[in-house]
Protein backbone atom coordinates (compact mmCIF):
# COMPACT_ATOMS: atom_id res chain seq x y z
CA UNK A 1 0.00 0.00 0.00
CA UNK A 2 2.80 2.40 0.97
CA UNK A 3 4.61 1.47 -2.26
CA UNK A 4 1.58 2.17 -4.44
CA UNK A 5 0.80 5.38 -2.57
CA UNK A 6 4.36 6.53 -3.29
CA UNK A 7 4.00 5.54 -6.95
CA UNK A 8 0.79 7.57 -7.18
CA UNK A 9 2.66 10.64 -5.98
CA UNK A 10 5.97 10.13 -7.81
CA UNK A 11 4.38 8.74 -10.98
CA UNK A 12 7.59 6.87 -11.70
CA UNK A 13 10.02 4.33 -10.22
CA UNK A 14 10.41 4.66 -6.47
CA UNK A 15 11.62 2.90 -3.35
CA UNK A 16 9.83 2.77 0.02
CA UNK A 17 11.00 1.27 3.28
CA UNK A 18 9.33 0.07 6.45
CA UNK A 19 10.80 -1.26 9.67
CA UNK A 20 9.33 -3.67 12.22
CA UNK A 21 10.53 -4.91 15.58
CA UNK A 22 9.03 -8.29 16.45
CA UNK A 23 9.11 -9.75 19.97
CA UNK A 24 8.98 -13.54 19.85
CA UNK A 25 7.33 -13.85 23.28
CA UNK A 26 4.23 -11.99 22.09
CA UNK A 27 3.67 -13.41 18.63
CA UNK A 28 5.71 -10.87 16.72
CA UNK A 29 4.19 -7.72 18.22
CA UNK A 30 4.70 -4.78 18.16
CA UNK A 31 5.99 -5.55 14.64
CA UNK A 32 5.04 -2.78 12.19
CA UNK A 33 3.35 -0.86 15.03
CA UNK A 34 6.68 -0.29 16.81
CA UNK A 35 6.74 3.31 15.62
CA UNK A 36 3.65 4.08 17.72
CA UNK A 37 4.81 2.07 20.74
CA UNK A 38 8.17 3.83 20.63
CA UNK A 39 6.47 7.20 20.41
CA UNK A 40 4.28 6.42 23.40
CA UNK A 41 6.77 4.67 25.67
CA UNK A 42 10.32 5.14 24.38
CA UNK A 43 12.88 2.32 24.36
CA UNK A 44 12.41 1.79 28.12
CA UNK A 45 8.72 1.02 27.57
CA UNK A 46 9.61 -1.51 24.87
CA UNK A 47 11.99 -3.22 27.30
CA UNK A 48 9.34 -3.19 30.06
CA UNK A 49 6.79 -4.84 27.76
CA UNK A 50 8.82 -8.04 28.07
CA UNK A 51 9.32 -7.87 31.86
CA UNK A 52 6.88 -10.72 32.49
CA UNK A 53 8.41 -12.98 29.86
CA UNK A 54 11.54 -15.09 29.99
CA UNK A 55 11.95 -14.92 26.23
CA UNK A 56 13.54 -11.56 25.37
CA UNK A 57 14.41 -12.47 21.80
CA UNK A 58 13.34 -10.25 18.95
CA UNK A 59 13.76 -9.80 15.24
CA UNK A 60 14.42 -6.50 13.51
CA UNK A 61 12.90 -6.55 10.04
CA UNK A 62 13.37 -4.11 7.19
CA UNK A 63 11.08 -4.36 4.20
CA UNK A 64 11.97 -2.45 1.08
CA UNK A 65 9.68 -2.17 -1.92
CA UNK A 66 10.85 -1.16 -5.36
CA UNK A 67 8.17 0.04 -7.75
CA UNK A 68 9.11 0.13 -11.41
CA UNK A 69 7.89 2.55 -14.05
CA UNK A 70 4.83 0.34 -14.72
CA UNK A 71 3.79 0.34 -11.07
CA UNK A 72 4.93 -3.27 -10.52
CA UNK A 73 6.13 -3.89 -6.98
CA UNK A 74 9.08 -6.07 -5.87
CA UNK A 75 9.60 -6.59 -2.15
CA UNK A 76 12.86 -7.38 -0.33
CA UNK A 77 13.22 -8.18 3.32
CA UNK A 78 16.19 -8.21 5.70
CA UNK A 79 16.14 -9.63 9.22
CA UNK A 80 18.50 -9.42 12.16
CA UNK A 81 17.87 -11.50 15.27
CA UNK A 82 18.67 -10.15 18.69
CA UNK A 83 17.57 -9.56 22.26
CA UNK A 84 15.67 -6.73 23.94
CA UNK A 85 17.75 -5.32 26.77
CA UNK A 86 17.46 -2.45 29.24
CA UNK A 87 18.17 0.68 27.17
CA UNK A 88 21.78 1.75 27.24
CA UNK A 89 22.75 5.27 28.21
CA UNK A 90 23.67 5.91 24.60
CA UNK A 91 20.52 6.84 22.70
CA UNK A 92 20.92 7.19 18.99
CA UNK A 93 18.04 6.31 16.75
CA UNK A 94 14.63 4.73 17.30
CA UNK A 95 14.86 1.58 19.44
CA UNK A 96 18.61 1.09 18.81
CA UNK A 97 19.38 1.52 22.52
CA UNK A 98 17.36 -1.57 23.55
CA UNK A 99 18.24 -3.94 20.68
CA UNK A 100 21.30 -6.16 21.08
CA UNK A 101 21.98 -8.15 17.90
CA UNK A 102 22.95 -11.80 18.33
CA UNK A 103 26.69 -12.34 18.56
CA UNK A 104 27.32 -8.90 20.10
CA UNK A 105 27.65 -7.73 23.68
CA UNK A 106 26.55 -4.21 22.76
CA UNK A 107 23.36 -2.69 21.39
CA UNK A 108 22.92 -1.15 17.95
CA UNK A 109 23.15 2.24 19.71
CA UNK A 110 26.63 1.51 21.09
CA UNK A 111 28.06 0.43 17.74
CA UNK A 112 29.77 2.79 15.38
CA UNK A 113 27.33 3.43 12.52
CA UNK A 114 29.67 1.64 10.10
CA UNK A 115 29.46 -1.52 12.22
CA UNK A 116 25.67 -1.40 12.51
CA UNK A 117 25.47 -0.88 8.77
CA UNK A 118 27.43 -4.10 8.18
CA UNK A 119 24.97 -6.32 10.07
CA UNK A 120 21.68 -4.46 10.18
CA UNK A 121 18.26 -5.60 8.98
CA UNK A 122 18.29 -2.57 6.66
CA UNK A 123 21.64 -3.45 5.11
CA UNK A 124 20.39 -6.97 4.34
CA UNK A 125 17.23 -5.69 2.65
CA UNK A 126 19.14 -3.00 0.76
CA UNK A 127 21.69 -5.55 -0.43
CA UNK A 128 18.89 -7.68 -1.90
CA UNK A 129 17.44 -4.57 -3.55
CA UNK A 130 20.86 -3.69 -4.99
CA UNK A 131 21.25 -7.21 -6.42
CA UNK A 132 17.80 -6.93 -8.00
CA UNK A 133 18.52 -3.51 -9.51
CA UNK A 134 21.95 -4.62 -10.76
CA UNK A 135 20.36 -7.52 -12.65
CA UNK A 136 16.97 -6.17 -13.66
CA UNK A 137 16.93 -2.43 -14.00
CA UNK A 138 18.41 -0.53 -16.90
CA UNK A 139 19.49 2.89 -15.70
Ligand X SMILES: O=P(O)(O)OP(=O)(O)OP(=O)(O)OC[C@H]1O[C@@H](n2cnc3c(O)ncnc32)[C@H](O)[C@@H]1O
Point out which residues bind ligand X (CB under 6 A): 17-19, 34-35, 38, 93-96, 108, 120, 122
Q: Which residue minimizes CB distance to ligand X?
A: 94
Decide whether 19 or 54 has the Cβ nearer to ligand X. Answer: 19
Decide whether 19 or 88 has the Cβ nearer to ligand X. Answer: 19
Quote the least distance from Cβ 120 to ligand X, whole Å: 6
Residues paired with 23 in a beta bridge: 58
Quote the least distance from Cβ 75 to ligand X, whole Å: 14
CB atoms within 10 A of CB 133: 15
Quote the least distance from Cβ 4 to ligand X, whole Å: 14
Decide whether 126 or 138 has the Cβ nearer to ligand X. Answer: 126
116: exposed, middle or buried (Cβ count in 10 Å: 0-12, 13-18, 19+): buried
Reduced to 3 states (helix: H, G, I; strand: E, B; else coil), residue 20 is strand
Instruction: Tell me the C-alpha distance between 54 and 80, whole Å.
Output: 20
Amino acid sequence: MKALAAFDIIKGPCIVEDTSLCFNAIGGLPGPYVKWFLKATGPLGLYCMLKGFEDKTAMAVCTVAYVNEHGEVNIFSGETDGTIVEPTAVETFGWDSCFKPNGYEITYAEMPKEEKNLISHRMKAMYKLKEFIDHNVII
